[in-house]
Structure 1
Amino acid sequence: MATLPDPNLQLERAREQLRTVFGFSEFRGRQPDVLARILEGHSTLAVMPTGAGKSLTYQLPATLLHGTCVVISPLIALMHDQLRSARANGIRAATLTSADADWRDTMDAYRAGDLDLLYVAPERASQPQFCDFLTSSQIALFAIDEAHCVSEWGHDFRPDYRQLLPLMERFPEVPRLALTATADKRTRSDILSQLGIPQEGLVLAGFDRPNITYAIQHRDNPVRQITTLMAEQPGPGIVYAPTRRKVEDLALKLAAATGRLVLPYHAGLPAEERAANQAAFVASEDMVIVATIAFGMGIDKPDVRFVAHAGIPKSIEAYYQETGRAGRDGDPAQATMYWGAGDFAQARQRLAELPEERRSDERTRLDMLASLVETPTCRRAVLLRHFGEKPEKACGNCDNCLSPPKVTDATETARKLLSAAYRTGQSFGFGHLQKVLTGSRDDRIKQRGHDQLSVFGIVEGEEAAMLQPLSRALQARGALVSTEHGGLALGGDAPAILKGEQAVEIVIPPKRSRATKRGDRTPNPVGDPLFDALRELRRELAAEAQVPPYVIFHDATLREMASARPASLDEMGRIGGVGAKKLAAHGGAFLSVIRQY
């Protein structure tokens, strides 16, 4: 494989391509380190946060190196999103998927050496006949996107990713670039091993997404809570719900409550409806989609302004991946989780259905998620420590930093609640236990003789108000677990708490003032009419070209245009995000609008 001769010259030429093709003057973060390795022919695992420009680390070399960069990506929708963006920048790109009618043309273009990028799914890439096809032309690079899918320790394991190594070993001289935003230390080690990348090939760019505001609240009325969030965030948003039924119910109720376009997405919808809803969301500047976790991994939409979870995700890794779909353009974004104690109860019940060898790891993941939900300290710090980083104690951009909660020692009350669960036979729900502890003369309590127990009526006043948040906290940590009939039984560290060997602290959330719209969260914070006019032109051009508006230009590019007001094509070409192809295609139209202001 032909590489560029001198490392300094390589990066200089890469910087020229960055300006010419992509319209940016400088690389971001660890991009230069990854590019330098690839251009020198070294295999690399790049762990970079979502929005840090992972796709550029293979798209740019694809325009410099001789041959085609073969990109292995897990979802057709994701490939088609990236295909649109690559072609908009003048890169010769194609996809080879079951959804492509032009597959013969794509194969011919590859054989003729007329492709910079070829996107394929792992299911196709792992087939021997595809390997034979690749020998018909020169390969410059293998890029494995969402590389955590290769690891059994990753949160989204895909068996076909395990079959990729034989393909790449057929082309030992071709470097490999594995890319992920979500991999802890164990997963990183497994990816390196499974893809045959040396340990020194790891480039770790960190996990922080400083533009995302993290918040976690107890779920009491999800429609009202998410409606409030939507009022604060007028841009596109994703709401994750745990089941298909809840997806459809929330989509209907949020649409009725807000007047916004809100559509459902889950695997049970007809394929045509699912595809149409996804396409509508990708093209929209204010639509909200309510989805199961099946949605989002295949979306490269940069202007998602919020992600809401109407229940707990599967793990911290999954939470990081799903919230990472917000704010990929670098503008401020919001990630809010609404959780209930029942979420953890159901998750712990599902652990029993797993094979024995996986149970311990999954229980640890659930415990880590519970600690994120229950922490009174900085949420971002908990997230970053989970991935092996050493963050500052406070980030200033999560709910606990912006409005610190009160923490109270609830050890004695916890012992009373656990004792009540035990003495009533570990078969009653929280409501019954609450009545016993507060001395209610309920008929059911008398009939069962629970008014004669030593725990009857031993909680009152302020302590009684603590019972419900305490019950949630104990269920989140697994000290109280749900039985199959809805009762609460002792589990986890309950014996240690009862013996006084384990302390229990709980978070009392601050009272929330009525939220108001935050001007800095909108795409046009200063209310510039020129920006709105540029957005309107972008909508028209996008509709004409049948692409999402962000493929034409990102909001940040339009804001810079509105601020700098370029007077010529030469000045327009210096705006961030305006590459040569886009300047030729759209520069004149945007200049014309700017001149009117």
Structure 2
Amino acid sequence: MASQVITNSLSHLKKYFGYDSFRKDQAEIIEHVLSGKDALVVMPTGGGKSMCFQLPALKFEGLTLVISPLIALMKDQVDGLKSNGIPADFYNSTQTPEVQLEIKSKVANRDIKLLYTAPESLSGLQEILSETYISCVAVDEAHCISSWGHDFRPSYQQLGFLKKSLPKTPIIALTATADKTTRKDILKQLGIPKAKAFLSSFDRENIFLEVRVADKRLKQIENFLLRRKDEAGIAYCLSRKSTEKLAKDLTKKGFKAKAYHAGLPSEERSKIQEEFVYDKTQIICATVAFGMGIDKSNVRWVIHYNMPKNLEGYYQEIGRAGRDGLQANALMFHSYADVIQYKRFIENSMNQKVQEAKLDRIKQFAEATSCRRRILLGYFGEHLTENCGFCDVCKNPPRFFDAKLIAQKALSAVARAKQKEPMGMIIDILRGAKNAAIYDKGYQNIKTYGIGDGISWRDWQHYILQLTNLGYIEIAFHRGNALEFTPLAKKVLFEDEQVWLTKPKQDQVSSSQPKQTLKSSNLFTQLKQLRMQISIEENIPPYLVFNDATLKEIEKERPLDENEFKTISGVNSLKSEKYADSFIEVIEKFNTKKIQKTSTYDQTYALFQDGNSIEDIAKTRNLKSTTVISHLCTLVEKGKPIDLSKLVSTSEVKKVQNILKEIDYEGALKPIFEALNGNMSYEKIRLAVTLLKK
């Protein structure tokens, strides 16, 4: 029975979403939900969480109600579902009473399979909140329900009533970021303590992790972006003012950048977001208010202009890059000033100790000299046994040197300043700065004045931060951020203890950084232009036509008929029907030399005639087996003597023959596939049709 559920789900997966196989854990989760059981799904951003309730929704008799925190996210998800031929809608406070009534009528008449709404709007849906209409409830961004989570929303805490109102209805809670405490709280608050938890790997292997010191940030960002001229990305800033300044500076440098923050009028925010989603704006400089409401799959990079306040926020924000599975970059800048500002924010706040501990963890991550991915995943309870090889530390390991003399100079300066001064003043003392603050306090007369003038200000900052991390110095936040000794400092000053530090990275342009992620060929550029044209005609974001990963596969495989086009990952039946001809036309124009087309078929023919299996040919030629079968069928139609009867059984041919007697066959395989209830693959149908024609 279980295998039958998965088999049927697979046919829906290809038909509506264009994929041939499930990602890790998806099949098990879908089977669990379809059996009517509650579930908690913790899966990384871009890992396929939505599929875990969208596909079951197609098989449930009634409605799947999706609780989502942001209106923009609902619209985005609904647009994506509609573009795949799935009836869906959203219900929220921005709609007129007439529109809201129409949506409720659709639910009552079973005209839609998924309905998205926010917790605040549930009161308006009282008349349909019954098991007469609802077959499943999905709570997206479920960490919002917990005060232990990093993005707590009080409105989510009312959702516990759903299980009481719908006791037999499965509830699936989904999140990308939840530690053990938060996971327990989600289940308790939703009233589903016995729900099965599905914990996928947190690892986003396609994202290159990099951290740099916030020195000459604008120049560093400019160099970073010059390598990614046509790629979309998000730059997160701590303040509204910073977003506007960075957007202005980048625009002056020739980049298409816009600022986004909560202080802008809602209409302007919506317009900016839409221009980004529709690829009209390349860069968004935003506060963390931006991003949760979009599902744009071709974001190629995320920059943190300031260090985030915790690792949960960092993880969620970098997860907005590379959702199509192609390579992406996450670049974080960090500074001493960021830590100071966050300390002020969380002073006397709720859960102050928890927030301080989380701030310490991300500070350790930023200043790490070991594999960053191991630190990040370890925080979420996932422990790698080897270094990742795909972060700045792995690509360019730090070199340690004997820094006892540097440590002694720094600690002596702290001592001579009587442990009353912050880092900036200590560095000025060491470098022999001639400014008013130094002279006002008479520091030009102490013994340590100028003893470190041969080391740059930035390098001294690098060394003192390391001494802080190693436990020789503490920052007294309650005394104007003054540097104080710990007991370990005395060992360096008076017991000659050895100290090993790392050299700062020079230039910070990072030779370890991977080169531009997408190497665009002329064909890929033409495919993107066609995608944009379709996007404008249909008024949907380009990535909802096809994401970059699908375009890259089209570029590689170069399908030359609709059957080959259907084999591309991300191409479903509806999209194949709508777009195949247009994309094939672009490919054919690109392949002006007909000999190229002939030679690829001849290579397949020669290998098949030599007795190679379909799988062997596919492996040898680096093609999909479906493409090989398509080649063979085309060769038979052109008169080549190939025996296809070994590839499809007589009974399968007979089934197709019987269907052809009942329908008006005009060359499309979809009507045959549907008449057979999806129980025969397109490849088998193609083989049978080719044999019958012969």
TM norm. shorter chain > 0.5:
yes
Matching residue's letter, 2:28? D
**2:492 aligned with 1:497:** no
Per the alignment, residue 186 of structure 1 pairs with 181
Preserved contact between residue 378 and residue 395 of structure 1 (Cα < 8 Å): yes
**2:569 aligned with 1:573:** no
Pick from 213, 237, 242: which aligns with 2:238?
242
What stretches of structure 1 of length at least 5 have no aligned partner? 1-5
Equivalent-residue separation in structure 2 for 1:61 and 1:588 (angstroms): 31
Preserved contact between residue 240 and residue 261 of structure 2 (Cα < 8 Å): yes
**Higher relative contact order structure (alpha carbons within 8 Å, sequence separation ≥ 6):** 1
Q: Comparing 187-196 with 217-226, which one deviates more in the overlay? A: 187-196
Question: Against the structure 1 CA distance between its residues 418 and 100, is the aligned structure 2 distance closer, same or farther, given a 3 Å change threshold?
Answer: farther
Per the alignment, residue 114 of structure 2 pairs with 117
Pick from 392, 400, 406: which aligns with 2:393?
400
1:471 Cα offset (Å): 3.1
Equivalent-residue separation in structure 2 for 1:554 and 1:540 (angstroms): 14
Equivalent-residue separation in structure 2 for 1:54 and 1:542 (angstroms): 25
Preserved contact between residue 67 and residue 139 of structure 1 (Cα < 8 Å): yes
Per the alignment, residue 77 of structure 1 pairs with 72
1:33 Cα offset (Å): 1.8
Equivalent-residue separation in structure 2 for 1:482 and 1:342 (angstroms): 14
RMSD: 2.8
Equivalent-residue separation in structure 2 for 1:189 and 1:505 (angstroms): 42
1:512 Cα offset (Å): 4.6
1:386 Cα offset (Å): 0.4
- Name the SS for the 2:211 alignment partner: strand
Matching residue's letter, 1:112? N
Q: Comparing 146-155 with 474-483, which one deviates more in the overlay? A: 474-483
Per the alignment, residue 315 of structure 2 pairs with 320
Equivalent-residue separation in structure 1 for 2:444 and 2:246 (angstroms): 41
1:520 Cα offset (Å): 6.5
1:316 Cα offset (Å): 0.5
1:408-461 deviation per Cα after TM superposition (whole angstroms, max 9, x unaligned) = 465774565355345435554434323434556777546534355464455565
1:339 Cα offset (Å): 1.3
- Name the SS for the 1:383 alignment partner: helix
Matching residue's letter, 1:215? E
Matching residue's letter, 1:266? H
Per the alignment, residue 556 of structure 1 pairs with 549
1:498 Cα offset (Å): 2.6
Question: Against the structure 1 CA distance between its residues 427 and 516, is the aligned structure 2 distance closer, same or farther, given a 3 Å change threshold?
Answer: closer
Question: Against the structure 1 CA distance between its residues 200 and 173, is the aligned structure 2 distance closer, same or farther, given a 3 Å change threshold?
Answer: closer
- Name the SS for the 2:410 alignment partner: helix
1:161 Cα offset (Å): 1.1
Equivalent-residue separation in structure 1 for 2:588 and 2:515 (angstroms): 27
Alignment of 1:86-125 (within 5 A): 86-101=81-96, 102-125=99-122
Equivalent-residue separation in structure 1 for 2:408 and 2:348 (angstroms): 30
Question: Against the structure 1 CA distance between its residues 189 and 83, is the aligned structure 2 distance closer, same or farther, given a 3 Å change threshold?
Answer: same
Question: Against the structure 1 CA distance between its residues 474 and 299, is the aligned structure 2 distance closer, same or farther, given a 3 Å change threshold?
Answer: farther
Equivalent-residue separation in structure 1 for 2:108 and 2:415 (angstroms): 71
Q: Comparing 342-351 with 405-414, which one deviates more in the overlay? A: 405-414
Per the alignment, residue 596 of structure 1 pairs with 589
Question: Against the structure 1 CA distance between its residues 313 and 320, is the aligned structure 2 distance closer, same or farther, given a 3 Å change threshold?
Answer: same
1:285 Cα offset (Å): 6.7
Q: Comparing 341-350 with 210-219, which one deviates more in the overlay? A: 341-350
Equivalent-residue separation in structure 1 for 2:488 and 2:178 (angstroms): 34
1:346-377 deviation per Cα after TM superposition (whole angstroms, max 9, x unaligned) = 1122232314xx11111110110111011111
Q: Taking structure 1 as the reference length, what is the TM-score of the superposition?
A: 0.91
Matching residue's letter, 2:384? P
Alignment of 1:297-446 (within 5 A): 297-355=292-350, 358-408=351-401, 413-414=406-407, 416-418=409-411, 420-421=413-414, 423-438=416-431, 445=438
Question: Against the structure 1 CA distance between its residues 376 and 205, is the aligned structure 2 distance closer, same or farther, given a 3 Å change threshold?
Answer: same
**2:247 aligned with 1:251:** yes
1:125-174 deviation per Cα after TM superposition (whole angstroms, max 9, x unaligned) = 3x3x5344323842121111111111111110111111101123210101
Question: Against the structure 1 CA distance between its residues 186 and 443, is the aligned structure 2 distance closer, same or farther, given a 3 Å change threshold?
Answer: closer
Pick from 261, 266, 269: which aligns with 1:266?
261
1:489 Cα offset (Å): 1.1
Per the alignment, residue 169 of structure 2 pairs with 174
- Name the SS for the 2:486 alignment partner: helix
1:162-213 deviation per Cα after TM superposition (whole angstroms, max 9, x unaligned) = 1101123210101011111111121112112222334561001010000000
Q: Comparing 585-594 with 360-369, which one deviates more in the overlay? A: 585-594
Equivalent-residue separation in structure 2 for 1:345 and 1:408 (angstroms): 28
- Name the SS for the 1:305 alignment partner: strand
Preserved contact between residue 421 and residue 483 of structure 2 (Cα < 8 Å): no
Matching residue's letter, 1:424? A
Question: Against the structure 1 CA distance between its residues 464 and 174, is the aligned structure 2 distance closer, same or farther, given a 3 Å change threshold?
Answer: closer
Pick from 139, 143, 146: which aligns with 1:144?
139
Equivalent-residue separation in structure 2 for 1:191 and 1:443 (angstroms): 55
Matching residue's letter, 1:558? L
Equivalent-residue separation in structure 1 for 2:235 and 2:135 (angstroms): 39
Question: Against the structure 1 CA distance between its residues 415 and 174, is the aligned structure 2 distance closer, same or farther, given a 3 Å change threshold?
Answer: farther
- Name the SS for the 2:299 alignment partner: coil
**Identity rate of aligned residues, in percent?**
38
Q: Would you say how many aligned residue pairs link Structure 1 and Structure 2? A: 582
What stretches of structure 2 of length at least 5 have no aligned partner? 591-694
- Name the SS for the 1:279 alignment partner: helix
Pick from 529, 551, 561: which aligns with 2:522?
529
Per the alignment, residue 481 of structure 1 pairs with 475
Preserved contact between residue 341 and residue 475 of structure 1 (Cα < 8 Å): no
Equivalent-residue separation in structure 2 for 1:130 and 1:158 (angstroms): 20
Per the alignment, residue 656 of structure 2 pairs with none
Question: Against the structure 1 CA distance between its residues 139 and 419, is the aligned structure 2 distance closer, same or farther, given a 3 Å change threshold?
Answer: farther
Which of the two has higher C-alpha Rg?
A: 2
1:313 Cα offset (Å): 0.6
Matching residue's letter, 1:392? T
Equivalent-residue separation in structure 2 for 1:165 and 1:58 (angstroms): 19
1:255 Cα offset (Å): 1.1
Question: Against the structure 1 CA distance between its residues 436 and 518, is the aligned structure 2 distance closer, same or farther, given a 3 Å change threshold?
Answer: closer
Equivalent-residue separation in structure 2 for 1:562 and 1:151 (angstroms): 45
Alignment of 1:275-294 (within 5 A): 275-284=270-279, 287-294=282-289
Per the alignment, residue 604 of structure 2 pairs with none
Preserved contact between residue 407 and residue 507 of structure 1 (Cα < 8 Å): yes
Preserved contact between residue 54 and residue 179 of structure 1 (Cα < 8 Å): yes
Question: Against the structure 1 CA distance between its residues 575 and 520, is the aligned structure 2 distance closer, same or farther, given a 3 Å change threshold?
Answer: farther
Equivalent-residue separation in structure 1 for 2:402 and 2:175 (angstroms): 40
- Name the SS for the 1:82 alignment partner: helix
Matching residue's letter, 2:489? L
Question: Against the structure 1 CA distance between its residues 445 and 62, is the aligned structure 2 distance closer, same or farther, given a 3 Å change threshold?
Answer: closer
Q: Comparing 576-585 with 381-390, which one deviates more in the overlay? A: 576-585
